[in-house]
Amino acid sequence: MLTAEQLEITQAEYDALLKVRDTIGALKHIRDPNCTLFTGNTFNMGTVTYTSDDPSHCGTCQCIGGWLYTFMINVAPNKHGVYAVDPEESRWYVSEERSPILYHLFYPLSKPDGRWMRDDEGKELDYDYNLITPEQAVQAINNFLTKRDARWDIILLDNHVAA
């Protein structure tokens, strides 16, 4: 596994990323793009951060970047198990404040330099982030930690073609 310095991320991001990797594999996958039909702490790569204290539907639904931010700022769950993270702060971190190399991990099918991957005909590759499973996210994190490249193209497109 590469170090934070080799990955060009902060030590806080590195430590939080290890926790995300060890946590999200056990989270329930929610395919609802609005994250309105969930209870408990869940994963949806299409949602940076959504939290609810509503007793009929409480919990936290986040993507890799949202969970990384939550763990990086050391937010503990409240009495309902909800990680009360400010969604705007979380979105700002994921889109603007993160170490640049994390862009590719947070935005599947982008390149580490932020450009979108293209097929042989030059068309931008696309994939519904709501379909990305926690297991696929863990695989991407492990790829990033060992290769500095999440390899979303292999994880998603090989899987997508087979589906």
CA–CA separation, 99 and 68 (whole Å): 12
Strands 59-62 and 49-52: antiparallel
CA–CA separation, 103 and 108 (whole Å): 9
Which tokens hold the place of 122?
A: 């030059």
Q: What is the pLDDT along the chain (163 residues), one digit of tens a residue?
A: 999 999 999 999 999 999 999 999 887 776 666 656 566 778 888 877 776 665 555 567 788 999 999 999 998 887 777 787 888 898 899 888 899 899 889 988 877 666 777 777 877 777 888 889 999 999 999 999 999 999 998 898 864 433 3
Q: pTM for the full model?
A: 0.84
**Would you give the DSSP letter of residue 116?**
B
